[in-house]
Structure 1
């Protein structure tokens, strides 16, 4: 019986502390006040997915433990989205499609931010799509978000792999 229980018990993810810290960052009011990101479910998802994409790109650039944490971070995201959708009343028949759509949105952001880091797209252009879905806010709000995302990225780059995996964000 014990081995059967162990089979169904999920192990704590090595990326859980990091995921929780990224979620906390996405909840900071400045994104929605000074940055004018929509304070809606979609807007909050956009901020979270943007910060997760940048965090994941930093993990991809790290050592083996960071790359493993990158996979675990994605798993945390999927688990969280599944849980959120279930709380909102989404049932099993459509759950896979909904979660798949959210994962796809994260994947699209990963590609866009990868192009920014390679220098083939601007921070402003990708911020406009990633946070605002092309419905750009006032220039000051966009500038605020660009500055904050750059600051977040620079802080991620300055963190060692183990600190980052442990959830120590800039």
Structure 2
């Protein structure tokens, strides 16, 4: 994109190419099975956990193809944009918004790193990562969520790049 196209806003925003995948992330994070079967807490924090869990899995899939690595940055931009809007709706103002966004980005980065390490090491490592990083109901131990996240990760690894970017694939 040329300097003038950026300056004048005449070129399409490159992150919009990732909007369908972002909408899939949010939709999947709202899937009642994560809450009913996997022990995710149905609170603001629990919903944030599920968004970061699903986003981390999607970003790990983007990392599988060198051509898609830049797309993970644009997907992160959509995450930041959406989370900032949600925080503003919850009443956060400029003085505290930056700090809260920093905390959210740190949580996202931690989740991504935890799953990047855990998935290749199997169920036990992923369960440990879930138990350390997610808000779960009192009777949940992370195993069910770990199994479902591993299955999602495995499923996304078979999705074509075009289907992934379109957000239209069966998982």
TM-score normalized by the length of structure 1 = 0.85
Mapping 1:85-100, distance limit 5 Å = 85-100=87-102
Deviation at 1:10, TM superposition (A): 7.7
Partner residue of 1:48 out of 43, 46, 51 = 51
1:138 is displaced (CA, Å) by: 3.5
Alignment counterpart, residue 28 of structure 2, candidates 25, 43, 56: 25
Q: Which runs of 4+ in 1 moved over 6 A?
A: none
Per-residue displacement from partner, 1:8-51 (whole Å, max 9, x unpaired)? 99826211110110100000111111112111000010111011
How far does the alpha carbon of each residue in 1:98-157 deviate from its partner, in whole angstroms, 9 at most, with x for none? 111101100000110111134287111112123237x76335xx3321221111101110
What is the distance in 2 between the residues matched to 1:4 and 1:58?
A: 29
Aligned-residue offset at 1:162: 1.7
Q: Which residue of 1 aligns with 2:153?
A: 153
- Tell me how large the CA RMSD over aligned residues is: 2.5
Can you give the 5+ residue segments of structure 2 that lack an aligned partner in the other structure? none
- Counterparts of 1:93 and 1:26 in 2: how far apart (Å)? 29
Instruction: Tell me the equivalent position of 2:41.
Output: 38
Structure 1: gaps of 5 or more residues = none
- The structural deviation recorded for 1:75 is 0.3
Q: Describe the shift of the 1:106–1:4 C-alpha distance in structure 2 as closer, same or farther (beyond 3 A).
A: closer
Partner of 1:137: 139
Structure 1 residue 6: deviation in Å?
Answer: 3.8
TM-score, with structure 2 as normaliser: 0.85
1:126 pairs, out of 126, 129, 141, with 129
Kept in 2: contact 1:59–1:70 (CA 8 A): yes
